[in-house]
Amino acid sequence: MSAIREGTRQVMAWLHGWTGLALGWVLFVMCLAGTMSVFKPEISRWMRPEATASAGRVEAIAAATRWLAANAPKSAGWYLTAPDDRANNVEATYDSGGDYVARALDPVSGAPVARETLGGEFFYRLHFELELPYPWGRWLASIAALTMLVALVTGIIAHRRIFRDFFTFRPRKGQRSWLDGHNALGVLAMPFHLMITFSGLVTLASLNMPWGIVANYGNDLAAAYHDLTPGAVDRPAAGRPGTLASIAPMLREAERRFGGAPFSRVSIANPADAASVVTVYRSDAAQIGATVAEVSFDGPSGRVIGAWTETRPAVRTYTVIYGLHMGRFANGVLRWLYFLGGAMLTLAVASGMILWVVKRRERAPLSLGNRVVERLNVGILAGVPIGFAAFLCANRLLPPGLIDRAQLEVTIALDAAGIALLVALAVPPRLGWPLLLGVLALLCLAAPVVGGGLAYLSQALARGDFVLPMIDALLIAAALAASVGVRTVTRRRSDTRRTMRGRAMA
């Protein structure tokens, strides 16, 4: 027993439970989508299986700008992400007469690839925008993250024996097992959970905690941004037409100034104007800090008009915390640890939500409110993954070249999750769990196979490309996990019934 009073611990457990319940479902969506975003480039490649062309990053960006100059010259800006050892296409955002569109551009021809899809970007955006319009999604995500911070700290204080719980698991004991599982998931990766929650808040700081900026800059936001990124060149359009100089020398000059480190992102402001600006950013894969150096060029002449490498300690601290959340520096084993940490946090949230119901059910019949919670648990904990798996199946089944194809995939994902939620609300949980987990398992098994999936697999293996097989393997692992879930819930039901009968007889 530690020095914390028992009363304190009870209050912390109470607060942990209620804060978890309040935003648990939102946190589940955020954690699951965030975990999948660890493999954002890999998911994007899986979702564009026939777009396998590859080129060096300088050549790919040059091809992209050639295509954009011919097809989107009026755009106010082109925002490009270069291919690297993980992604083979150029990710581009530009406006073609009105709304901005996001497209993957072929690294050789520069034209958009045929299978129009958001790819991994869908999960990445969902993680902090939750399919809600700006700024509401980001606000909800911020509130959820603050709540999670409270839930984590109270969960830690409520804990009696942190070390012993590490090694405690009592299977098939109802509430005990859920509690042991929840504790192990929470404790084992606790430093990761704290880091990812805190750094996640920092990524949305200008939205959720703008008061430091208000105190030091009043309402002069532009001045604050200028101080944060003093190297940024913000030059208005001249209003006269201009032609971009060859971009490859600019990219090579930028890399020379980065000390040989590669660039990753390139933005081109007012590309068809005489005052166009090309800005090249250092890759985040080379260090923990995010966006620590940039070089800007005068578009028509290719002359350097601004360069900046971040060295100020406070701002570097900020970029490192930001970079820790993005995890783009993590390669190999570390990337898998990010994935594992995220998966454990997702499961900790899910098991916590289930524990809320299990704990109350073992004491007394569930109240109406808790019966709704129980069904919502089924609908969200199984329904959201169903939506994700449907998204991947839709990617394989919708023909390439379909109009609004990318949006259609998203609609199918949201509709599938919505239908699953309605089913879960309509049927009793003892049917809902196995039904929806069964559907999830089938969808996860279908995704690697349908729409010519096996042909893509054999082509990838013949090329020696292990990205597509890896995602296939993860989907099969998810299907296995879901079927274990089906077995667990069906068996637990019969166990409980047997105990109840035993009690009634005694």
Partner 1 sequence: MGARAADRRGWRYRGNVAARVLAGSLGAYGVASCLAMAVARLAAGGRIDGVIAGTLCAYLAVPAVAIWAFLARGPWRAWGGVVALVALFGALAWMIGPPAR
Residues in contact with partner 1 by CB under 8 A are 7-8, 10-12, 14-15, 19, 146, 149-150, 152-154, 157, 198, 201-202, 205, 209, 211-218, 224, 227-228, 312-315, 317-318, 321
CA–CA–CA angle 501, 505, 506 (5° rounding): 120
CB of 197 to partner 1, least distance (A): 9
DSSP H/E element including 22: helix 6-37
Provide the token pair at 478.
């998810």
- Residue type at position 169: F
Distance in angstroms (rounded) separating the CA atoms of residues 342 and 81: 25
Q: Which two tokens stand for residue 87?
A: 């992604």
SS3 92: strand
Cα separation of 124 and 243, whole Å? 34
Task: Specify the residue, 209 or 454, whose C-beta has the smaller distance to partner 1.
Answer: 209
The total number of residues shown for the chain amounts to 506
- Residue 8 CA to residue 11 CA, distance in Å, equals 5
b or e along 306-324 (b: 16 or more beta carbons within 10 Å of the residue's beta carbon)?
bbbebeeeebeebbbbbbb
Of the pair 67, 217, the CB lying nearest partner 1 is at 217
Q: By C-beta, is 317 or 499 nearer to partner 1?
A: 317
Q: How far is the CB of 31 from partner 1 (least distance, A)?
A: 18
For partner 1, the closer of residues 114 and 153 by Cβ is 153
| Cβ-based nearer residue to partner 1, 243 or 317 | 317
> Which phi and psi (to 5°) does residue 238 adopt?
-80, -20
Omega of the bond leading into 385 within 30 degrees of 0 (cis): no
Is the preceding peptide bond at 399 cis, omega within 30 degrees of 0? no
Residue with Cβ nearer partner 1 (220 or 415)? 220
User: Whole-number minimum distance, CB 228 to partner 1, in Å?
Assistant: 6
CB of 205 to partner 1, least distance (A): 5
Sequence-separated (6 or more) residues with CB below 8 Å from residue 220: none
Q: Of 149 and 427, which CB lies nearer to partner 1 in the complex structure?
A: 149
Q: How far apart are the first and last CA of the chain?
A: 36
